Structure 1
């Protein structure tokens, strides 16, 4: 349980092999540099090997049902809506491991009421009131029906909503609230220069941004190796990337047009902020 009434609690989830322990270690470093203490980082994981000792690791609770089929939603995150979570009480801030914290995040803990669920607006569908859960704050145990209902009908809910964040947006008691627009930004939509300028210019941090998220890629480690994803070799030149449009095996996207658009240069501010 928190040992201090003003303890800031950050939680991340690490399962499988997509992100190694270095992602958790860097998250701890970023949080430490960008919150007013005291704080703790709780990692729910199926493999704590290599994670720095300052991180409070707990075994990732079981989802309790088979993962739905025919969906790309990250339904494993539904476990965060359980009645109890190891190492957490009160209010917690979840941050996806592939996020980069670029400024102080104290305001994420103080905005609104403790019972509120705050999410980012889904930037890909700005005209709809949809949440994006790369960064969200929630009262631990405050909406257990989200997990209970999912466990009762996982495939039905996945088929209806497609993405776990759409389900959360629709079913949180009292509705979700949105972070101020400037705080949480999407790398691909808000930072990356438009095509073809991204072949020559680095991505920029939008004014007022505190956390940059990377849903749908590219991931921070790939950006620093000048590639969109691991289909491409590291540090492929602009010309080689263009030539690769003819090679289905090394294209970063099956669609040739999207392949040409998916080029990214290493970014100085990621190297500056995304570190232990």
Structure 2
């Protein structure tokens, strides 16, 4: 059986994100699969999702760090025992949009490999991006244990959880075939100012589109960059607002525009 795991904590993502992920998996996986959700609130999750309490980080949270360090609990030695997972498990971030069959994510490479999406924001460095990655459950507990031993030092050196994972896997990480996992801002969204006239495209060969660092697919469907922007804002209105009072980062505002792409609304549904 194919195994998938996700993590939901806090208030950023409601149960609909997990339920949509399950729906996308159901449409794009051949045969049986299991979705495990580690969460601090299982209310509203569809019954097919196996929800488990999200373990605590187990150490002091690093100061002045943007890393999603809570995701490291998946590397715990007892995670398989707690969830019934065994062997290779595919992690998928909740703000991902699955657009095609993903059977290859379960068979690519060796079952013992740790396979990540490439960090496309830093293409010249061999860094992984953990929006979509596969790992053998319980095999590398040193990743979380070494972090717990000195979390601030790890955060100061590596900055993000995914950089720490990249540096910690014995023998090095592997990458998915480059066309499979696409980055919304870097591979789909037209460059400024073309994004004012053309919606984001769905690249040929893409299987999963990720949204690290925003915008969120829920906002993209409404033609806005974040919840502070009005939905379906007209391009001229957004451009003009950059020169109104109260806008501190004018260039950032100008670039933060998106037209609603039909393919996001088509695929990101339960």
The TM tier, using the shorter chain, reads over 0.9
For residues 126 and 10 of structure 1, the distance between their equivalents in structure 2, rounded to whole angstroms, comes to 27
| Paired residues for 1:240-259 under 5 Å | 240-247=237-244, 254-259=248-253
Deviations 1:212-238 (A, max 9, x none): 000010000011111101121222221
Match 2:134 to one of 130, 134, 137: 137
**What is the count of residue pairs matched by the alignment?**
267
Gaps of 5+ in 1: 1-6
| Paired residues for 1:24-63 under 5 Å | 24-63=18-57
Deviations 1:195-222 (A, max 9, x none): 1111111111111110000001000001
For residues 61 and 215 of structure 1, the distance between their equivalents in structure 2, rounded to whole angstroms, comes to 23
How far did 1:66 drift? 2.1
Alignment partner, residue 11 of structure 2: 17
Alignment partner, residue 3 of structure 1: none
How far did 1:271 drift? 0.8
| Paired residues for 1:1-276 under 5 Å | 7-85=1-79, 86-87=82-83, 88-247=85-244, 254-276=248-270
Deviations 1:24-53 (A, max 9, x none): 000000001001111011100000111101
Return the TM-score normalized by structure 1. 0.94
Whether the 8 Å contact between 1:67 and 1:76 is mirrored in structure 2 is no
Return the TM-score normalized by structure 2. 0.96
How far did 1:247 drift? 4.6
Whether the 8 Å contact between 1:10 and 1:40 is mirrored in structure 2 is yes
For residues 18 and 48 of structure 1, the distance between their equivalents in structure 2, rounded to whole angstroms, comes to 14
Whether the 8 Å contact between 1:30 and 1:275 is mirrored in structure 2 is yes
User: How large is the Cα RMSD of the aligned pairs?
Assistant: 1.1
Alignment partner, residue 4 of structure 1: none
